A and B are shown apart, each in its own frame.
Chain A
């Protein structure tokens, strides 16, 4: 069975500093990996995905993530955080079956 771990419930960063939200996964076979963002009182919104190819994937709002097969990680990064990036971030993995598994979510707080 597949699983996703987001080891930090909350990440705090100052505006303008780089940010990282961590995600590790466990799955049989080649993983399809996703990041979603949820703003207050909204549904989850797709940010980026890794299916195959270049390990560094770029997504919406300046976010990127790096697929690391040996470490089974897919950390979300952004070079310079904005206050408006404050939200709940979810990592998800989809193996051969179509049911994606989501992490518990990480609350990102960007301080002015």
Chain B
């Protein structure tokens, strides 16, 4: 398997623009997580899905952030409008629930480095 795939790897945009980050989880994984990483706040969980259904979005910082998972192989994180304080590295991760030797641990994508000017 190619692992978790994220695109784009880098995104530079101006304040006020819409940003869409994309994620393809590992095939067969039933959980998908979106994280944000900054020096100041470390790794923050934004939202997670189980079987394509959003379970907990309490980490989403504001209404400007939204996430969708239309099917088992694709998820998006959208920021509209973007602000300079949204600059961070955004990670997508997927995992399996119980049942296999590789259950529970998360597999992370390479991240999207977002810069909002």
Residues of A within 8 A of B (CB): 32, 34, 36, 41-46, 49, 51, 90, 94, 98-100, 102, 104-105
Contact = CB atoms under 8 A, between A and B. Distances in A.
A46 B106 contact: yes
Interface residues of B, number: 20
Contacts of B25: none
Contact of B42 (A36, A42, A104): A104
B108 A98 contact: no
B108 A44 contact: yes
Interface string B88-113: 00010100010000001111111100
A56 to B, nearest CB: 18
Nearest to B42: A104
B31 interface: yes
Contacts, number: 44
Contact of B56 (A45, A46, A99): A99
The 4 closest A-B pairs by CB, nearest first: A43-B108, A44-B108, A46-B105, A104-B42
B111 A43 contact: yes
Contacts of A43: 4, 91, 93, 108-111
A90 B43 contact: yes
B108 A45 contact: yes
A105 B43 contact: yes
27 contacts: A34-B104, A36-B106, A36-B108, A41-B111, A42-B110, A42-B111, A43-B93, A43-B109, A43-B110, A44-B43, A44-B93, A44-B108, A45-B108, A46-B106, A46-B107, A49-B104, A51-B104, A90-B43, A98-B31, A98-B55, A98-B97, A99-B45, A99-B48, A99-B56, A100-B106, A102-B42, A104-B42
A45 B91 CA distance: 12
Interface centre among A32, A43, A94 (most CB of B within 10 A): A43
A41 B111 CA distance: 8
Contacts of A104: 42
A70 B43 CA distance: 28
A102 B45 CA distance: 9
Nearest to B43: A102
